[in-house]
Amino acid sequence: RSYQEDTPFVCPECGKSFRQKPNLITHRRIHTGERPFTCFLCGRSFNQKTNLVTHYRVHTGERPFACTQCGKRFTQKTNLLHRQGHAGERPHACAECGKRFRQKVNLAVHQRTHTGERPFRCAECGKGFSQKAHLLRHRRTH
């Protein structure tokens, strides 16, 4: 079987293909901005039910994943990347300055300091920011 036969459901927006129709439906929410799963405690919405379930842990305080090295607990298994810190691992290096990072996403954010990229724009005044958190902090000033 070919790849096309294995992934017959194609997103008309970006061309990404999926084996199952429900996965395409979930993916399309990225383009539409639809967030049908809403937290009944705080009103925050999510595009996938699994993200809502994980979010509820913010309210319940549940931290089911523990680091085997230090016992620190986390709401998500992915946060266990923190274990790399115990080993001193920083596998992602900036080609510009050599600074190293544990997570690829942190390297990507850092690289904006070299490129000057500011992808997060304030809808009210147009000011750009390199990090979403900086935009959110700025928006409180309006």
pTM of the model: 0.53
Q: Residues 122-138: what's their mean pLDDT?
A: 91
Is 55 found in the same domain as 26? no
Clarify whether residues 44 and 61 are in a common domain: yes
- Whether 78 and 44 share a structural domain: yes
SS in 3 state form for the chain?
CCHHHHCCEECCCCCCEECCHHHHHHHHHHHHCCCCEECCCCCCEECCHHHHHHHHHHHHCCCCEECCCCCCEECCHHHHHHHHHHHCCCCEECCCCCCEECCHHHHHHHHHHHHCCCCEECCCCCCEECCHHHHHHHHCCC
Q: What is the rounded average pLDDT of the residues 70-91?
A: 77
CATH code of the domain in which 81 resides: 3.30.160.60
Residue 22 domain flag: yes
Any domain includes 99: no
**Is there a single domain that holds both residue 58 and residue 81?**
yes
Q: What is the mean pLDDT of residues 70-98?
A: 81
Q: How many domains does the chain have?
A: 2
Has residue 81 got a pLDDT over 90?
no
State residue 63's pLDDT score: 92
- 3-40 pLDDT tens trace: 456 778 999 988 899 999 999 999 999 889 999 999 99
